[in-house]
Amino acid sequence: MIRRSATTSQGPIAMLYELYYWPTIQGRGEFVRLALEEAGADYVDVARRGKRGVPAMMKLLDSTRIEHPPFAPPFLKAGKLVIAQTANILFYLGERLGLAPRDEAGKLWVHQLQLTITDLVVLIHDTHHPITTYLYYEEQRPAARRRTADFWRYRVPKIMGYFEHVLATSGGPYLLGRRLCYVDLSLFQIVEGLRYAFPKRMKRFERKVPRIVALHDRVAERPRIAAYLASERRIAFSQWGIYRYFKELDH
Amino acid sequence: MIRRSATTSQGPIAMLYELYYWPTIQGRGEFVRLALEEAGADYVDVARRGKRGVPAMMKLLDSTRIEHPPFAPPFLKAGKLVIAQTANILFYLGERLGLAPRDEAGKLWVHQLQLTITDLVVLIHDTHHPITTYLYYEEQRPAARRRTADFWRYRVPKIMGYFEHVLATSGGPYLLGRRLCYVDLSLFQIVEGLRYAFPKRMKRFERKVPRIVALHDRVAERPRIAAYLASERRIAFSQWGIYRYFKELDH
């Protein structure tokens, strides 16, 4: 998959980014894809580029020659740099893609918010695999039920309530106010994922976070995001990602 | 607790940092404490400063007036900045305390390593509380046993093996080679924590990661770290932190 920029908004020396992530899931790579798409950046989704994509990713991952080896996907190649860890990639891209403030305090603030998204992603994943990722969901069903109950009872209200508060303080529609940053895209993705995995619970919960829902809708309407979501570049949700739907966990 | 610098190595306008973290556990705050101690920084461990410490922290945490509110401790006050998320705090401090490279590629690299420590910390914590933090360990013992078994079988070898590889590549004794960075201090702390929680397992495992053990020992011998570890500023490990000892999880 190659996404070529139609604009020259990045200036005369636009970078061609290479994103390395699993080709069949949104996963953590999706937070990076959304940033690249919103910015109209030139990028290659390497592992989705035909049969040789995944081997190319694994080769890089197993290479002992990389100066700064990634521990796991996603990672980004930007010129000579190889950058891993989702939030770290976004920290790097934010400045370059116009999706983060330029001053230090602002950069640290959006990164801090992104790291709270990182924490939330682990919690979402662990609702369906609380005990171990080395057993099927069906083998840890009672634990998943309990974990999911507490996740919705305690963690979702607290974390999403925090983002709702940030939006109230900024005045919205985005976390920084009128200016979009990469965390807005990630928060959009969290809403999408929770709607997929927990449609009933999320429907009830959304009434409590109207500003987050409004942010979600604004992001979805942005022309490049709308085009991306409608394209084949957007991988569908599935039972293999962070967000999985199990009827008995959603009531 | 106030730690006053005996040196003037920070130059004429040394900052007085305020660290906010739970006063009775090492927890995530310890990664920040170790950086501040190694650098000989002036800092106040606010919540440990008498009876009014914790209320002062909670007041800040609950304040609706902070421009960039933290979601949870630890957070750091540095002049007008309030910075949260452990890895984000270290990113900020690294440059100022001489515990990170100054070039962008180097900064991103050590931050990337720190974010892998962040991931590991969640996994360590979840060994004893896999299902939910809202039940006692004793109420989720079989799940904890399974989670711990897989943690040691798969995750520890992979993650610690990764750091061992980074040390092999850098030539050691530190992750960047001869120059200490804040991730070295965090990796030291991980070794300390795993030794506390899993003395038997760790004793066996350490043979596989000699470079990490050597790094640990080098860090422990650094004069300021040694002085800190021997001081009352170092909180003891306990059954309330990230690392907890349960006999049946360690064999």
Which DSSP string do the residues of A95-130 spell out, in sequence order?
HHTT-S-SSHHHHHHHHHHHHHHHHHHHHHHHHH-S
Beta carbons of B105 and A146 less than 8 Å apart: no
CA dihedral B24, B25, B26, B32 (to 10 degrees): -60
Which stretches of chain A sit within 8 Å of chain B by CB? Answer: 64, 67-71, 81, 83-85, 87-88, 91-92, 105, 108-109, 111-112, 115-116, 118-119, 122, 126, 130-135, 140, 143, 146-147, 150, 154, 159, 162, 165-166, 169
To the nearest whole number, what is the mean pLDDT of chain A?
94
Cβ <8 Å between A131 and B132: no
Q: Which segments of chain B are extended strands (E)?
A: 2-3, 16-20, 42-45, 75-78, 81-84
Per-residue pLDDT at B8 = 44
Residues in chain B with pLDDT values less than 70: 1-13
Block residue for tokens 């974390």: A159
Please tell me the distance from the alpha carbon of residue A125 to that of residue A233, in angstroms, as a whole number.
Answer: 23
Q: What is the pLDDT of residue A65?
A: 86
What is the arithmetic mean of pLDDT over A172-200? 98
Instruction: For residue A5, name the pLDDT band (cuts at 50, 70, 90).
Output: low
Nearest by Cα to B243 from B193, B190, B192, B185: B193
Put simply, whether the predicted model's pTM sits higher than 0.90 gets the answer: yes
| Helix (H), strand (E) counts: chain B | 10, 5
- The per-residue pLDDT for A191 is 98
Using only C-alpha atoms, chain B has a radius of gyration, in whole angstroms, of: 18
* pLDDT at res. A8: 44
Residue in chain A nearest B134 by alpha carbon: A150
Q: What is the spatial order of strands in the sheet that B2-3 belongs to? A: B2-3, B42-45, B16-20, B75-78, B81-84
Q: What is the pLDDT of residue B74?
A: 98
* DSSP 8-state code for residue A176: T
Which chain A residue's Cα is nearest to B67?
A: A169
In A, which residues are within 8 Å of B159 by CB distance?
71
d(CA A113, CA B186) in angstroms, rounded, equals 22
Q: Residue type for B155, please? A: R
Decide: B185 and B225 in contact? Cβ < 8 Å: yes
What H or E segment, with its residue span, contains residue A83?
Answer: strand A81-84
At B104 the pLDDT is 96
Interface ipTM above 0.85: yes
pLDDT class for A3, splitting at 50, 70, 90? low
SS3 (DSSP) at A19: strand
Q: Which residues of B touch A (CB under 8 A)?
A: 64, 67-71, 81, 83-85, 87-88, 91-92, 105, 108-109, 111-112, 115-116, 118-119, 122, 126, 130-135, 140, 143, 146-147, 150, 154, 159, 162, 165-166, 169
- HSE of A167, CA atoms in CB hemisphere, 13 A: 21
Nearest chain A residue to B92 by CA distance is: A108
* Among chain A residues, CA nearest to B168: A64
Backbone φ/ψ region at B234: left (φ over 0), alpha (ψ -120 to 50), beta = beta
Residue A13 is predicted with a pLDDT of: 63
